[in-house]
């Protein structure tokens, strides 16, 4: 008898046998709009679509069952594959390299212009070279931040993820994550936690180690309700 993974409101609520699912639909503890997945299925489906006959019983034979939340967007995803550890590591390295080039070069130039490599560095003088270096740092920094925020909000991708063909989606229904989940929760809030003195370093290490789990979801994925899969976003 198949074992069904059941999810509701973007969170998995357990693994149940087919008999338990049928009983739950009849009693109202499971809803037709809940998502289900079992081995052999290409993606998540609504319980009402997977087991339509039982779904009909839920409506007609059990007047005390809660109504199906028809306003919920619970469309099952197309077949997808979790991004490999290599692809996720490679994307992170690409993002780091881009930041190092765009920000490291003008910063190094700023140090040189300010006499930072001299034995006795003079006070910072706002020479044309220093002003140019500071301007480049600000422009490149804000530009890189803006591009990544836009890509995360619209595509679920950073530059590195886009180039390697992986993207962030919601869990478990693989929908576009949007600004709040892809950037605000997954990146900004996670960065704030990681910036806490002493404890932040421990958190960051544990956060990364979570990627070795079965679902390859780091703590920041759990916070945001996201996962990372292979493939570019579908064209609209």
Domain identity same for 151 and 209: yes
Domain identity same for 95 and 161: yes
- Give residue 137's domain range: 85-230
Domain identity same for 151 and 49: no
Domain identity same for 21 and 130: no
Domain identity same for 48 and 101: no
Q: What confidence score (pLDDT) does residue 236 get?
A: 65
CA distance 87 to 103: 24
Domain identity same for 55 and 89: no
Question: For residue 2, what are its two tokens?
Answer: 């198949």
The answer to whether 169 and 176 are in contact (CB under 8 A) is: yes
Q: Is residue 107 part of a domain?
A: yes
5, β-bridge pairs: 15, 37
Domain identity same for 48 and 151: no
Q: Is residue 139 part of a domain?
A: yes
Domain identity same for 104 and 33: no
Residue 186: other Cβ atoms inside 10 A: 23
Q: Is residue 77 part of a domain?
A: no
Domain identity same for 106 and 21: no
Q: Is residue 98 part of a domain?
A: yes
Q: What confidence score (pLDDT) does residue 8 get?
A: 85
Low-confidence ranges of the chain (pLDDT < 50): 53-61, 67-76, 78
Domain identity same for 41 and 107: no
Domain identity same for 101 and 168: yes
Domain identity same for 17 and 100: no
Give every strand in the sheet of 35-37, ordered side by side.
11-17, 3-8, 35-37, 45-46
Q: Is residue 196 part of a domain?
A: yes
Name the nearest CA neighbour of 30 among 76, 69, 1: 69
Q: Which residues contact 70 (CB under 8 A, 6 or more apart)?
A: 33
Question: For residue 148, what are its two tokens?
Answer: 């990544």
How many structural domains compose the chain? Answer: 2
- Ordered alpha helix ranges (H), the chain: 18-27, 47-50, 52-60, 85-99, 105-113, 128-155, 159-164, 178-179, 190-194, 199-209, 219-224
Q: What confidence score (pLDDT) does residue 34 get?
A: 87
């Amino acid at each position: 008898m198949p074992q069904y993974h059941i999810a509701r409101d973007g969170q998995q609520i357990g693994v149940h046998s087919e008999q338990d699912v049928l009983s739950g639909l009849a009693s109202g503890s499971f809803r037709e709009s809940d998502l289900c997945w079992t081995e052999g299925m290409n993606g998540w489906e609504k319980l009402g679509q997977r087991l339509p006959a039982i779904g009909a019983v839920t409506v007609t034979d059990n007047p005390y069952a809660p109504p199906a939340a028809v306003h919920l967007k619970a469309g099952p995803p197309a077949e997808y594959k979790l991004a490999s550890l290599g692809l996720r590591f490679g994307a992170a390295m690409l993002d780091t390299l881009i930041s190092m080039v765009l920000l490291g070069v003008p910063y190094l130039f700023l140090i040189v212009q300010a006499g930072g490599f001299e034995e006795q560095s003079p006070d910072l003088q706002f020479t044309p070279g220093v002003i140019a270096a500071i301007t480049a740092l600000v422009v490149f920094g804000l530009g890189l931040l803006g591009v990544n925020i836009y890509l995360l909000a619209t595509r679920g991708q950073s530059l590195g993820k886009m180039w390697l063909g992986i993207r962030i989606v919601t869990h478990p229904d693989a929908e576009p994550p949007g600004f709040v989940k892809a950037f605000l929760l997954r990146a900004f809030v996670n960065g704030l936690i990681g910036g806490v003195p002493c404890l932040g370093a421990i958190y960051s290490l544990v956060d990364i180690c979570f990627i070795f789990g079965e679902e390859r979801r780091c703590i920041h994925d759990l916070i945001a309700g996201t996962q990372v899969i292979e493939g570019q976003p579908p064209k609209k």
